[in-house]
Amino acid sequence: MEPFKTITALAAPLDRVNVDTDQIIPKQFLKRIERSGYGEFLFFDWRRIQEGPNAGSPDPSFVLNEPRYAGAKILIAGKNFGCGSSREHAAWALSDFGFRAVIAPTFADIFFSNAGKNGIVLIKLSEEDVALLLDRAAQTPNYELTVSLENQTVTDTQGFHATFEIDPFRKFCLTEGLDDIGLTLRHAAALDTFEKQHDQANWLKPKFSEASV
């Protein structure tokens, strides 16, 4: 996982609420067994014209198809971003497309966890701040934001300055780019002890009859 300290990058506004993971990456791309290469399918249905003679070709009105947002690394969106299915493919697609941070008023739980595991920083700001940033990103050419994970701040060159909360341990993992399994295995001895004891609880065994013979 790529460590995240501070980035200054182009910000793209996705002015929609409840953006669900079915939209971020539609199901037909979940059949792949690889972990990479999902970027080109990000927001697949929204990026394409759905009906009429031009169905299937890129929809120029969709924000991420606008040339001025090419190369954006920061996405700004409405509340409850990432709701719905648990597919980590949503995080893979965002990351593969080049996004390193998403700013929104709130995020859904499972997506929140998946994003962190892929080095994407999720930043919760107030609805007012997000509305302001959505507006600036839509109005200002080449609108850049600076996200500093170390200082927990989001700033622009027009005087915007906001701080955000992040769980200290999550921050530590993101800034260091740490692998979760490695972190857990620091507790291997405690786990062995716990598990031995826990295995005595027969009523918590998945396959009781097989385990008991």
Partner 1 sequence: MSNQPKTLFEKVWNQHVVVSPQGEPTLIYIDLQLLHEVTSPQAFEGLRLTGRTVRRPDRCIATIDHNVPTVLAERFNIVDQIAAKQIATLRANCKEFGIQLFDIGSREQGIVHVIGPEMGITKPGMTIVCGDSHTSTHGAFGALAFGIGTSEVEHVLATQTLPQSKPQTFRIAVEGELPKGVTAKDIVLAIIGKIGTDGATGCVIEFAGSAIRALSMEGRMTICNMSIEAGARAGMIAPDETTFAYLKGRRYSPQGAEWDAAVAAWSQLPSDPDAKFDRELVIDATTLVPYVSWGTSPGMVAPITASVPNPADTPNESDRRAFERALEYMDLKAGTPLDEIQIDRVFIGSCTNSRIEDLRAAAAIAKGHHVSTHVSAMVVPGSQAVKDQAEVEGLDLIFKAAGFDWREPGCSMCLGMNPDILTPGERCASTSNRNFEGRQGRGGRTHLVSPEMAAAAAITGHFTDVRNWAEISQTAEVN
Instruction: Tokens for 95, please give them.
Output: 């990351």
Stretch of residues binding partner 1 (CB under 8 A), selected from 28-36, 66-74, 142-150, 157-165: 28-36
Token couple for 61: 């009105």
Among 58, 27, 43, 19, which residue's Cα sits nearest to residue 93? 43
47 binds partner 1 (CB under 8 A): no
Q: Is 30 in the site for partner 1 (CB under 8 A)?
A: yes
Closer to partner 1 by CB, 155 or 171: give it.
171
Q: Which is nearer to partner 1, 8 or 113 (CB)?
A: 113
Rounded Cα gap, residues 19 and 186, in angstroms: 37
Site membership for partner 1, residue 136 (CB under 8 A): no
Measured distance between the N- and C-terminal CA atoms of the chain, rounded to whole angstroms: 44
Question: Cα–Cα distance between 19 and 29 in angstroms, integer?
Answer: 18
Site string for partner 1, 139-178 (x = CB under 8 A): ----------------------------xxx---------
Read off φ and ψ for residue 120, nearest 5 degrees. -90, 130
In the complex with partner 1, the residue whose CB is nearer, 101 or 110, is 110
Chain Cα centroid distance, residue 203: 37
Q: How far apart are the C-alpha atoms of 72 and 203, rounded to whole Å?
A: 52
Residues that bind partner 1 (CB under 8 A): 15-18, 20, 22-23, 26-28, 30-35, 45, 50-51, 78-80, 83-89, 91, 106, 108-110, 113-114, 117-118, 127, 131, 167-169, 180-181, 183-185, 187, 190-191, 194-195, 198, 201-212
